Chain A
């Protein structure tokens, strides 16, 4: 039997995003988790599953989070898929409940990079392959990975820095309407073009924020969700595809993400197509990634992203608003967790600032993308069961 519409997100919570020096990473995670429980209308004791991201945390970190919330879970594990983790946690939660391992699964991610720096997030061993075959050449990590990919896309399809600028400008516009955004001052295409090169072809305004913050959500069955305090947001379709670990893999395609496989499968599960999507919260560690995702999900053909994003199409009020919260580029980098939280709030219809509410949103696509264009998760959320 298909799981389409059988599970729902019933609670979301978050913290301030930006610089939050007053809380530890664990503290932020716990605050977001408690807010998600409160938002759901479930009692703490109803939550019997806990998933967390790795978060550079301690041994069996998901159980530390559970214990500090007073939960003795029937199901818990740490997941590490980089920026795809949150979208994939939602899928894992549904599967665990389907299998009878839990009734309600809390999913949590926290980030503390603005005040603690970027490096300590992973203990040494996790970056071993990178430290041996990339970093010695002066390779700093994610920015270079995605700049290499962007250059290849520019070469094959004629995309330009000016195209990337449209994405930065649209997301900043959305962040300017979001009270909980790290960067709220609007920018223009000219501002983008005048910003300095970081790793060419990326300018400063092609790059995401470095942030503190946390988010959480709770998944339970559609049946249980019916009697809770807020309207359920159903998991209509989901899928994953993880094509390679390193872009130096001989077979790695730098001009597409795992969405070329996971996207069509998620749409098929939901019985929907790209034209049914009212808004898309697309993982956006760098502007270029949004461009290729729009193509990979079939909103336009390969190489047509640069035309697709013109004329305000991806801005609120356009036909496909993208990253209505401002995304990693401007709201802040909570590794994709806030994309899920935002999608749920958009679908509930009365939880975000009216100026950035997508009118009548019924279907929202959320994507997660991690590593060296390595991991990808697709999640289609909606207000109505099929």
Chain B
């Protein structure tokens, strides 16, 4: 487990399922039972059709880099090891999320590159979904 003073998410009524699955190393998001739309961030309502019925479905964990940046100075507590890479990734099922790309050289990254989810454990309850470049690149 990573010992850290990094800021950690504080799950609330809407998001605690998301983080509970992350702690089990499963990337799950709500899928609307009415229209099939995957949504993220967690919410009580589907932004596509306003249905309140949804199921927590497991995602493939495969995504493409939508954009990425390289942080060169410490700006967040606990992130004193620079540089590191922050990215937006588009999951194969549709949703986009903020994450970090780890185990990579920034120079090897590009928009559109395929990446795969992995989890960093911080506490018994909190694991962060981060991504690594996929081994079999298309």
Contact = CB atoms under 8 A, between A and B. Distances in A.
Interface of A: 128-129, 131-141, 143-144, 147-149, 151-152, 155, 196-202, 246-250, 252, 254
Given A136-B128, A197-B72, A246 B41 contact: yes
Contacts of A147: 69
A247 B90 CA distance: 12
Contacts of B98: 133-134, 137, 139, 246, 248
Given A131-B9, A147-B69, A248-B88, 13 more contacts: A128-B12, A131-B10, A133-B9, A133-B97, A138-B6, A138-B86, A139-B86, A151-B67, A197-B70, A199-B69, A200-B69, A200-B83, A246-B41
Nearest to A143: B75
Nearest to A152: B67
Interface string B73-91: 1011011000110111010
B9 A139 contact: no
Given A197-B72, A199-B70, A201-B69, A250 B9 contact: no
A133 to B, nearest CB: 6
Nearest to B10: A132
B95 A254 contact: no
Interface string B35-53: 0000011000000000000
B100 interface: yes
Contacts of B75: 140-141, 143, 199
Looking at chain B, what size class is its interface with the partner chain? 35 or more
Interface in B83-138: 83-84, 86-88, 90, 94-100, 106, 111, 128, 130
B68 A138 contact: no
B24 interface: no
A148 B9 contact: no
B30 to A, nearest CB: 13
A133 B41 contact: yes
A235 B71 CA distance: 41
Contacts of A197: 70, 72
A247 B88 contact: yes
8 contacts: A128-B12, A131-B10, A136-B7, A138-B71, A140-B75, A144-B71, A148-B86, A197-B70
The 5 A-B pairs at the shortest CB distance, nearest first, are namely A140-B75, A200-B70, A138-B79, A147-B69, A197-B72
Given A148-B86, A148-B88, A198-B72, A137 B100 contact: yes
Contacts of A196: 72-73
A378 B9 CA distance: 35
Nearest to A202: B69
Given A137-B98, A249-B96, A155 B69 contact: no
A136 B71 contact: no
Given A136-B7, A138-B6, A247-B88, A199 B40 contact: no
A196 B73 CA distance: 10
A152 B88 CA distance: 10
B25 interface: no
A250 B96 contact: yes
A138 B81 CA distance: 10
B20 interface: no
Contacts of B84: 138
A307 B128 CA distance: 42
A208 to B, nearest CB: 15
Nearest to A134: B98
Given A144-B86, A196-B72, A249-B96, A136 B67 contact: no
Nearest to B37: A250
A54 B129 CA distance: 34
Given A199-B69, A200-B70, A200-B72, A137 B99 contact: yes
Contact of A155 (B72, B83, B111): B111
B77 to A, nearest CB: 9
Given A133-B98, A151-B67, A139 B76 contact: yes
B91 to A, nearest CB: 9
A248 B71 CA distance: 18
A262 to B, nearest CB: 22
A135 B70 contact: no
A190 B94 CA distance: 42
Given A133-B97, A136-B7, A199-B69, A151 B111 contact: yes
Contacts of B94: 250
Contacts of B79: 138
